Chain A
Amino acid sequence: MNSTILQTATRYLLPLLLVFSIVVMLQGHNKPGGGFIGGLIGAAGFALHGMAFGPNATRTALRADLVVVMALGLAFALVAGCLALASGQPFLTGLWVSVPFPGFGEVKVGTPLVFDIGVYFVVIGVVMTIVLSLLEENA
């Protein structure tokens, strides 16, 4: 598809969607959201880019090997679970630390967040692999 309107809109929408996806992922612990839906929103942004500029441009824009993105995500999720094992608790038990964060006061950071980040990357990797393969088939 070669549409100037879509291409121009995508230039603004992609960064917005990516920021939104991270917000959704971060708020997921207590409110609706999380790594899965965040990853989907991020992947939707890249998918839009793929439709506007073509799959090759998107591969360049992603700059990362999608297999590695999936693997990193999986590694994050596994590590998040195994940290609890290492401390002698059951797999996936949430471990929390409070970190002073300028402007926010104390921020609680825990392994569920690491897990969510892992899911985020796995979802982006998987969805983009599917979307790009389909787009390449059409081209």
Chain B
Amino acid sequence: MNALPILPVLIPLGTACLGMLGHRSLRAQQTVSIAGAVALALAAVALVARTATGEILTMDAGGWSAPFGITFVADAFGAIMVLLAAVTGLAVVVYSVASVDLPRKRFLYYPLTHVLLAGVCGAFLTGDIFNLYVCFEILLLSSFVLLSLGSERGQLEGAIKYVTLNLISSAIFLSAAGLLYGTLGTLNMAHLSVRAAEAVAEGNGNAVTIVAMLFMVSFGIKAAVFPLFFWLPASYHTPPFAVSALFAGLLTKVGVYAIVRVFTLIFVHDTGYTHTILLWVAALTMVSGVLGAAAQTEFRRVLSFHIISQIGYMILGVALLTPLAVAGTVFYIVHHIVVKANLFLVAGVAHRIRGTSDLGRAGRVGVYASAPLVAILFMIPAMSLAGVPPLSGFWAKLILIRAALDERAYVYVAVALLVGIMTLFSMTKIWAEAFWKSPEEKEGDPPTKADRTPMGMLAPIAALAGITVAIGLAAQPVFEFSVLAAGQLLNPEVYVGAALGEAFVTPLQGGVEP
């Protein structure tokens, strides 16, 4: 028996628990929180190391074998997602120590962050569609609180839109899961894959496709794809920078993960319909995101729209559904989570230095003039996002565009390239306005010694920038891992074999009182 597939869920929950027990002492909370994040990262590394061999780890909760109980399945894709969640979580927790204000911290900020991480990791590891819904709810509930904590006017305005649209998405998800259970009679994802194939063979494919579209809408809202993305730029710029970095890095990617999972494992029989829609969605998402960004002048709103356009690239890979394209999606997610979380963290530092996040206003001092290191640390993720070689974003885009060329999807190649250039334009806009420009007339008080950026904020940014450079320079191992993950995703029988195993030979074992 191997506990590894469940540890990334248990560690953050345990950390949250300890943080709540010691909630009167801020120091205890911070220590526990960082220790928990480190432990999660270690568990994630172990998980990735195990799955890198091509092995798929499973654990049947309570000893109830699949497909009757809830199975946790860690394949290469799930494991790398958990590692990314852990890395982002660790960076954000360290960054929070120096940047999040005291009242928020006192109001269970750290435990909530860890509950969010538990939900995210659970979503990546669960092999049961209803359990996936539960994990979505866990991460959503904690994100609701994190988003509205502090009760500032703008925050609540953003939170209302965020909560409403996400609840609608959850309701659709739940209905879809119910319909799926009614149609196929199971909730285990591996079993669903088998049953969906049977249903299609029996000529029952239309019912499956209808449910597939419900899932696409629900996950599409979570992933913020065209035309369901409006909640994202309305809310992500309102909470503290650490919180929006966590959200930007992880939450939409859980939606993308869910889309990739169900549209490679379960709904692969009517690809001419479902995946063509995904293809259109991908292109429109890329374009509308990047055009939206061009119209914005607030640091985090620009970045928020870029999340949307980047989601388009990820969806493009799964829509093309070739081994190279899906590997491109995996690589893209790896690159994107690190870069995006980092950009939001840098935005926090820039806000601190300039005294404003508005790109139209001059701010009290230019970032490059007063803190050149911060400016360089912005440059790395920003250029990576735009796809400038040799950073991680270049390889991610290269793989996807190669895959699209192989499929003769020239329109999508053109869109992807154009959106890349537009992204570069956006990043240069931020660079020029917020970092390069030194105001002639200084607004507000000049920065004092107390305004100097604390190491606790710079260290996570530097670490994430280091990862971005490392992925860029050593793209081969990451690419090989992505190919491995894509191979598993495109051959559902591997996943099914690992998750169901000999379930039908000895259906009920353990879990029963003697």
Contact = CB atoms under 8 A, between A and B. Distances in A.
Given A68-B21, A74-B16, A75-B17, A94 B513 contact: yes
A57 interface: no
Contacts of A78: 10, 13-14, 17
Contact of A71 (B17, B60, B512): B17
Interface string B241-275: 00000000000000000000000000000000000
Given A67-B108, A78-B10, A88-B1, A110 B21 contact: no
Nearest to A96: B513
Given A67-B23, A67-B108, A110-B513, A90 B17 contact: no
A102 to B, nearest CB: 22
Interface in A47-103: 65, 67-68, 70-72, 74-75, 78, 81-82, 84-85, 88-94, 96
B203 interface: no
Interface residues of B, number: 23
A68 B421 CA distance: 52
Contacts of B16: 74
A108 interface: yes
Contact of A91 (B10, B17, B18, B108): B10
B62 A71 contact: no
Contacts of B514: 96
Nearest to B65: A90
Nearest to A82: B10
Contacts of B59: 90-91
A136 B484 CA distance: 56
Given A78-B14, A96-B514, A91 B61 contact: yes
Which of B20, B59, B512 is packed against the most chain A CB atoms within 10 Å? B20
B511 interface: yes
A108 B513 contact: yes
Interface string B1-18: 101001000100110111
A92 B60 CA distance: 9
Nearest to A92: B62
Contacts of A93: 62-63, 510-511
Interface centre among A78, A90, A91, A110 (most CB of B within 10 A): A90
Nearest to B512: A94
B3 A74 contact: no
A72 B18 CA distance: 9
Given A85-B3, A90-B61, A67 B513 contact: no
Nearest to A76: B17
Nearest to A68: B21
B10 to A, nearest CB: 7
Contacts, number: 63
Nearest to B1: A88
Interface in B79-111: 108
Contacts of A90: 1, 6, 59-63, 510
Nearest to B72: A91
B297 to A, nearest CB: 38
A42 to B, nearest CB: 20
A92 B131 CA distance: 15
A74 B61 CA distance: 17
Contacts of A88: 1
A68 B20 contact: yes
Interface string B352-394: 0000000000000000000000000000000000000000000
A91 B6 contact: yes
A135 to B, nearest CB: 19
A108 B512 CA distance: 13
A70 to B, nearest CB: 6
A78 B511 CA distance: 17
A110 B513 CA distance: 9
Contact of B21 (A71, A91, A108): A71
A74 B20 contact: yes
Interface in B1-58: 1, 3, 6, 10, 13-14, 16-18, 20-21, 23
Contacts of A91: 3, 6, 10, 59, 61-62
Contacts of A71: 17-18, 20-21, 23
Nearest to A86: B3
Contacts of B10: 78, 81-82, 91
Contacts of B513: 94, 96, 108, 110
Nearest to A97: B514
A67 B29 CA distance: 13
Contacts of B512: 94
Contacts of A82: 10
Contacts of A110: 513
For B3, B18, B108, which residue has the most chain A Cβ atoms within 10 angstroms?
B3
28 contacts: A67-B108, A71-B18, A71-B20, A71-B21, A71-B23, A72-B21, A74-B16, A74-B17, A78-B14, A78-B17, A85-B3, A89-B1, A89-B63, A90-B1, A90-B59, A90-B62, A90-B63, A90-B510, A91-B10, A91-B59, A92-B61, A92-B62, A93-B511, A94-B62, A94-B512, A94-B513, A96-B514, A110-B513
Interface of B: 1, 3, 6, 10, 13-14, 16-18, 20-21, 23, 59-63, 108, 510-514
Given A74-B17, A88-B1, 6 more contacts: A67-B108, A71-B21, A89-B1, A90-B60, A91-B6, A93-B63
Interface of A: 65, 67-68, 70-72, 74-75, 78, 81-82, 84-85, 88-94, 96, 108, 110
9 closest A-B pairs (Cβ-Cβ)? A71-B20, A93-B63, A92-B62, A71-B21, A74-B17, A91-B6, A85-B3, A90-B63, A92-B61
